[in-house]
Amino acid sequence: MLRGLLESQMAGMAWGELSKHAPEKLEILRQLLGAGFCAALSRQLIDKMPAAMSLDTGMKWVKAALTHNLPTVSAKDDIVERGGVYALIGPTGVGKTTTVAKLAARCALTYGPQSVALLTTDSYRIGAHDQLRIYGRILGVPVHEVKDETDLQLTLGELTDRHLVLIDTVGMGQRDQRIGEQLAMFGHDNVGTVLLLSANAQASTLDDVARRYKNSHLVGCILTKLDETMALGGCLDVAIRHKLPLHFVTNGQRVPEDLHRANLAYLVDRAFRNPQESSVFQLHKDEYPLFMSTQDIPTDFSLATSPR
């Protein structure tokens, strides 16, 4: 208790010094936290920011730094253009089946329906296979159901002529003990995994998802449900800290219209576009010192300095 009180006092002193000597940095830090970026990432940005910047110049520097550190893939290197075998993984409700259909439709439009095949391992959710089969029928793309690792390898052996094979997986909460079994199923060199992160989830939940679903075959992520969130900073924060290259973002249910390549400048700018000053979740200015003192997040990442 005494330690917590001392840390709160120290944080208050540090906040007071920042307010006195660098009020622009203080305001930028407040905007970062309000946009949904975590305290650890926000601290690093403020520490690396050059001194004596105005508020406008400082915000431009912060946005450039976030863009510089947000990994993405080029238009020629996303999973549709590159081709291969990819399993879309992530918790229940992030939009895996719909995203599989969007990716398949984009590939079919570019390379023809004969270039794509769809697989599903989701035999638990009622109607999941039927939903994917309907998409496959509309696109003229075959859909195969696989039950285990052996079945998966046999099916993939029959689809070597396909440019793109997409695997729709069972949605599991990030604390589900079966995640390890699911990831082991895709442990072969010819299968890459793509993590779906729902932009409308809490940042702490997304961070837990990224940690639990981490695997050696992970090629990046897709941000889903951008149309359902007010605070985009949390999912961008997770992508930056876990170094997850962005392949696509989705912002609706339409197939394939609501699938887009990631525009980093737009995403970062939008993260700061909806300030929630009147929100019941927004901290008051005098509450930030206490908030910062309670954020004991291990800094297990390092931001690259943005070009000035």
CA distance 68 to 66: 5
Q: Distance of alpha carbon 209 from its chain centroid, rounded?
A: 10
Residue 37 lies in a domain: yes
Q: What is the structure's pLDDT at 289?
A: 59
Q: What is the structure's pLDDT at 187?
A: 82
Percent of the chain whose pLDDT exceeds 70: 79
Residues 178 and 203 in one domain: yes
Residues 22 and 49 in one domain: yes
Q: What is the structure's pLDDT at 279?
A: 61
Compare 125 and 52 and report the one with higher pLDDT.
52
CB atoms within 10 A of CB 1: 5
pLDDT band, residue 147 (cuts 50/70/90):
confident
State the average pLDDT for the chain.
84
Residues 238 and 169 in one domain: yes
Q: What angle do CA 161, 150, 195 make, to 5 degrees?
A: 70
Residues 91 and 238 in one domain: yes
CA distance 14 to 51: 16
Residues 131 and 232 in one domain: yes
Question: What would the pLDDT profile of 258-296 be if each residue is shown by its tens digit?
Answer: 999 999 999 999 999 865 555 655 666 655 655 555 555
DSSP string covering 148-182: SHHHHHHHHHT-TT-SEEEEE-----TT-TTHHHH
Question: What would the pLDDT profile of 206-221 be if each residue is shown by its tens digit?
Answer: 999 999 999 999 999 9
Residues 33 and 103 in one domain: no
Residue 21 lies in a domain: yes
Preceding amide of 50 cis, omega within 30? no
Residues 164 and 88 in one domain: yes
Residues 161 and 198 in one domain: yes
Nearest alpha-carbon partner for 290 in 4, 20, 32: 4
Residues 119 and 239 in one domain: yes
Residues 22 and 89 in one domain: no
Q: What is the structure's pLDDT at 287?
A: 58
Kindly state the average pLDDT of the residues 299-305: 68
Q: What is the structure's pLDDT at 283?
A: 62
Residue 108 lies in a domain: yes
pLDDT band, residue 6 (cuts 50/70/90):
very low
Identity of the amino acid at 259: L
Compare 7 and 189 and report the one with higher pLDDT.
189
Q: What is the structure's pLDDT at 5?
A: 46
pLDDT band, residue 162 (cuts 50/70/90):
very high
Q: Which domain holds residue 48?
A: 2-70+277-293
Q: What is the structure's pLDDT at 230?
A: 83
Residues 178 and 244 in one domain: yes
Question: What would the pLDDT profile of 109-146 be if each residue is shown by its tens digit?
Answer: 999 999 999 999 866 655 556 888 999 999 999 999 99
Compare 151 and 15 and report the one with higher pLDDT.
151
Kindly state the average pLDDT of the residues 57-73: 94
Compare 129 and 306 and report the one with higher pLDDT.
129
Residues 83 and 182 in one domain: yes
- Residue 94 token pair: 């992030």
Residue 219 lies in a domain: yes
Residue with tokens 């794509």: 116
Question: What would the pLDDT profile of 24-45 be if each residue is shown by its tens digit?
Answer: 888 898 889 888 898 889 989 9
pLDDT band, residue 89 (cuts 50/70/90):
very high
Question: What would the pLDDT profile of 215-246 be if each residue is shown by its tens digit?
Answer: 999 999 999 999 998 889 999 999 999 999 99
pTM: 0.85
CA distance 194 to 94: 12
Residue 248 lies in a domain: yes
Q: What is the structure's pLDDT at 148?
A: 87
Helix (H, G, I), strand (E, B) or coil at 35: helix
